[in-house]
Structure 1
């Protein structure tokens, strides 16, 4: 199975100037564990995850002041939509990631998460009843 078949194409995109609280509220409302951060003034695409928010709170930072730009990964590993889900899982395992931004060229087409991989794995291994 390819990443394009397992990924979520409904991607939450936030700006680098959103506060952590704003980003966390949007992530919570959408039921997602990550947000893609696109900064029109820089190259590339970043990702902010629930773990980034948790680390900021754990460090005693003010979530109403801290901006997403200071709490994200710019040098993320990106998956291609034609990757297999096994390739995505291997990249996640190697990097210790739970989310990969899926890029087709320079365009964000989705996010694949460990949850997506588990859903695919469980569906493919659940016996069907006659």
Structure 2
């Protein structure tokens, strides 16, 4: 199975000037664990994850004052839609992260998470045995 088959194609994109609270609210409303951070001034692309927000708040930083830009991972490993799920899982394991931005050329087309991969690999049970 390929990344294109498992990835979420409806992604949350925010700007670097969003506060962590705004980012968390949007992530919660969309039920996603990561947001693509697009800086149109620099053509930069990064990712802000739930863990980034949690670490900032846990360190005592204000979610209303801290901006996404300060907590965004910009040294990102990107996946391609034609990668296998094994390639994506290996990249996540070696990098120690749970989300990959999927690029088609230079354009973000989705996000694949560990949960997406597990959902594809785990057998679906039609009924729970009694």
Instruction: Name the TM tier (shorter chain).
Output: over 0.9
* 1:86 equivalenced with 2:74 (yes/no): no
Matches within 5 A, 1:22-101: 22-101=22-101
Cα-to-partner distance string for 1:40-96 (whole Å, 9 max, x where unaligned): 111331000000000000110000000000001001100000000000000000000
Which residue of 2 is the match for residue 10 of structure 1? 10
The TM-score with structure 1 as length reference comes to 0.94
> Unpaired segments of 5 or more residues in structure 2?
none
The TM-score with structure 2 as length reference comes to 0.94
Which residue of 1 is the match for residue 108 of structure 2? 108
Aligned residue pairs total 127
Query: What is the CA–CA distance in structure 2 between the aligned matches of 1:126 and 1:57, rounded to whole Å?
Result: 37
Query: What is the CA–CA distance in structure 2 between the aligned matches of 1:53 and 1:84, rounded to whole Å?
Result: 29
Query: What is the CA–CA distance in structure 1 between the aligned matches of 2:49 and 2:125, rounded to whole Å?
Result: 34
Q: 107-116 or 35-44, which moves further after superposition?
A: 35-44
